Amino acid sequence: MDSLNPLYKEVLEWAQTDEDIPEQDWDLALINSFSVAEFDRLIADTSIREGARSFFIGCLYTLAGDAVRTNDEELINALEAYCKEPASQNMYLKLWQTRVLKLIRNPASYEYAYWGDNPSRFVHEGGL
């Protein structure tokens, strides 16, 4: 697997193993390669291990946090549109959508521990 440009199938296969992430900052490679919808599918997949699910959820928090922190208007607009759509059936993504909309409305609430680090403190503290 090309860890800096992985295919969805390869990431799904990794998520079904007990292997560590292929390299440091792999979350950054994934958020640059995968859409929110692809993360949603991965998170909802019942065949993946919980550690991988938490990792993917953390990727979404990093994605949103980076967009707000850097004031990436294009990505912020896309995230806002995605989060305003009917919530995903996935409970983790529903909560993420709510939190992202709050962050977009109040960028000053950005905290690195919650939005810039993986695992996000939201995930680490069990407050998914």
Mean pLDDT score of the chain? 91
Domain of 101, in residue numbers: 8-124
pLDDT at 90 over 90: no
Spell out the residues 6+ positions from residue 87 whose beta carbon is closer than 8 angstroms to its own. 93, 94, 97
One-character DSSP codes across 25-49: THHHHHHTT--HHHHHHHHH-TTS-
Would 106 be classed as within a structural domain? yes
pLDDT at 127 over 70: no
pLDDT at 128 over 60: no
Predicted pLDDT of residue 17: 96
**Distances in whole angstroms, Cα of residue 65 to Cα of each of 26, 28, 34, 69, 118:** 16, 12, 16, 6, 11
Would 1 be classed as within a structural domain? no
Would 56 be classed as within a structural domain? yes
Would 2 be classed as within a structural domain? no
Say which residue, 105 or 94, is predicted with more confidence: 105
Categorize the per-residue pLDDT at 119 as very low, low, confident or very high, splitting at 50, 70 and 90. Answer: confident
What are the pLDDT digits (tens) for 31-73? Answer: 999 999 899 999 999 999 999 999 999 999 999 999 999 999 9
Would 104 be classed as within a structural domain? yes
Query: To which residue do tokens 């296969």 refer?
Result: 13
Count the domains in the chain: 1
The mean pLDDT of 99-122, rounded to a whole number, is: 93
- Cis check: omega of the bond before 86, within 30 degrees of 0: no
Say which residue, 45 or 126, is predicted with more confidence: 45
Would 30 be classed as within a structural domain? yes
Would 18 be classed as within a structural domain? yes
Predicted pLDDT of residue 86: 76
